[in-house]
Structure 1
Amino acid sequence: MYTGYFKKSIIPACLAALLLLVLLASAVTGSRAVAGRRYLPADLTDVPILNYHKVDNFEHSLSLTPAEFEHQISYLAENGYHSITPDQLMAYLKYGRALPGKPVLITFDDGYGDNYVNAYPILRKYGFTATIFIVTGLVGHDNRYLTWDQVREMHKNGFVFGSHTVNHKPLTKLRADELNAELTESAAEIERQLGVRPRYIAYPTGAYSLKVEEAVRKAGYRAAFTIRYGQVGLDSDPYALERIPLYHSGKSFRSFYYRITAAPLLERLGTRY
């Protein structure tokens, strides 16, 4: 009786598991192609883009304490991760240009002052850089946010600054002229302050649409970052790049650990931590 049960239940389950492994293997072998790009080798891996906001000691969902943040960054350093820039990411996705082993793109939204006071020294300690999307209407005008002198210092030391628009308004709710102003005026101010026109933008509040994507492209940006969960791969829309959001919780490091390690497999299976 038990033998028959084994054959009827366990063997089909094993076959199903084997089929799942075959399907996963087929997803990462052979050549992969995306419209408008040449065929690229299949060993190109997806890239995690970490999305932070604040690094301070306030009890806020957007905040990690400096100790929590350093725990995460030290983990990346000790486990062979290398920070990359958005330019490196786009060259990799478009042309298959080599990235360092275990690449990770570290991003911050909003441009809070604690990014300079707390996060910047920690990142430099471990040899990492980051990309910070700033709200240009707040830089130098609100003491909770970065100053242009701080931005220039970080930029000089390899940090990348992108647009988070002028006023941090949800772009999907703006008229066409308002949308264009938020995109172009923020880029112009960053260029005026740093001497380099920003190529990248993060959508305020994560709100975007096909109309917004097209406006971003026409404004001269090479790519745009969302708050949609996931890693970036060859099938990613460059104007809707996925990120892995990291927030404060009672178990912040455990959440970070699962997102940076188990999340790639869970994402392939259509689930998330």
Structure 2
Amino acid sequence: MIIRKIWLFLGGLIILIMLSSLVVRTTAVVAGHNHLLSHIPFELGDVPILNYHKIDSLNHSLSISPEEFKQQMAYLHDNGYTSIRPDQLMNYLNLGKPLPKKPVMITFDDGYLDNYTNAYPVLKKYGFIATIFLVTDLVGKDERFMNWEQVREMEKAGFIFGSHTVTHTPLTRLPREKIMEELTESRKEIERQLGQNPKYFAYPTGAYNLEIEELVKQAGYKAAFTIRYGQVGPGSEPYALERIPIFRQSQTFYSFLVRLKAAPILERFGIRN
């Protein structure tokens, strides 16, 4: 056991030295993605699930600019990634069904209008689909968020919609009865609008515990997504699936590449770029 830990430590140290070396040598990202990190010769972990919120130009950590988002999607496209649906992910985890080479799952939380106006055209351009978790009390009622007509248009194009509750209240703050109301009423509204029950759920603000996981299961969802940092593999819990949050940073594209390629090893050593 001690020897194994030493080897793990040494392996992680080597990778971190490689990443640190790349940081020192990194300059601005240039056209065609001739970025040093683009050529990291390893892919770690299993399925990366990218977690976005807003695609706009606001100076906010949850906002990725349209230009940066296009750059990230172009990188995925040019490097052979294939976007997958939650059903494909669960068939892989539960049944061992194969996934396409270099799978990636693209997710959005909340259902902001810019997911439709800014992200949707870019995703269509590169042949990607995404999964969007909706706060149902905001759809069509708040101008910052999509309306149901836009949601239906995206669904017809192959996009998947799941629940992010009715009001986006962190579930750990609510009594059991209210938690079930948030879970079931949002599910009913999505079914009423789209004609089918959503299978998947994302925890508002990432707040959950074992009791809430069980309630999500009782409400009829097949899996739930957290904001726990990491990639998803056979050892992942279906009601606590890891994702890779993508935030605005001083070097957003560089951060995106590090998170995409090295999330598991960085998480193992407690490093979050």
| Structure 1 residues 159-238: aligned runs within 5 Å | 159-238=159-238
Which residue matches 2:247? 247
* More moved, 257-266 vs 156-165: 257-266
Which residue matches 1:134? 134
Q: Is contact 2:92–2:99 with CA below 8 Å preserved after alignment?
A: yes
Deviations 1:107-138 (A, max 9, x none): 00000000000000000000000000000000
| Structure 1 residues 66-81: aligned runs within 5 Å | 66-81=66-81
Unaligned 5+ runs, structure 2: 1-5, 12-44
Q: Name the aligned partner's letter for residue 95 of structure 2.
A: Y
Which residue matches 1:12? none
Query: Residue 18 and residue 225 in structure 1: after superposition, are their counterparts in 2 closer, same or farther (change >3 A)?
Result: closer
Greater relative contact order (CA < 8 Å, ≥ 6 in sequence): 2
Which residue matches 1:121? 121
Number of residue pairs the alignment of both structures matches: 236
**How far apart, CA to CA, are the structure 2 residues paired with 1:78 and 1:238?**
30
**How far apart, CA to CA, are the structure 2 residues paired with 1:256 and 1:271?**
14
Q: Is contact 2:106–2:129 with CA below 8 Å preserved after alignment?
A: yes
Structure number, greater radius of gyration: 1
Q: Is contact 2:230–2:244 with CA below 8 Å preserved after alignment?
A: yes
Deviations 1:72-91 (A, max 9, x none): 00000000100000000000
Give the match's secondary structure for 2:137. Answer: coil
Q: 1:271 offset after TM fit, Å?
A: 4.2
Query: Residue 66 and residue 176 in structure 1: after superposition, are their counterparts in 2 closer, same or farther (change >3 A)?
Result: same
**How far apart, CA to CA, are the structure 2 residues paired with 1:267 and 1:74?**
26
TM-score (norm 2): 0.83
Query: Residue 67 and residue 18 in structure 1: after superposition, are their counterparts in 2 closer, same or farther (change >3 A)?
Result: closer
Q: Name the aligned partner's letter for residue 51 of structure 1.
A: N
Q: Is contact 2:244–2:263 with CA below 8 Å preserved after alignment?
A: no
Which residue matches 2:143? 143
Residue 262 (structure 2) pairs with residue 257 (structure 1): no
Give the match's secondary structure for 1:262. Answer: helix
Q: 1:19 offset after TM fit, Å?
A: 9.2
Q: Name the aligned partner's letter for residue 163 of structure 1.
A: S
Q: CA RMSD in A?
A: 1.7
Indicate the percent of aligned positions where both proteins have the same amino acid. 64
TM-score (norm 1): 0.83
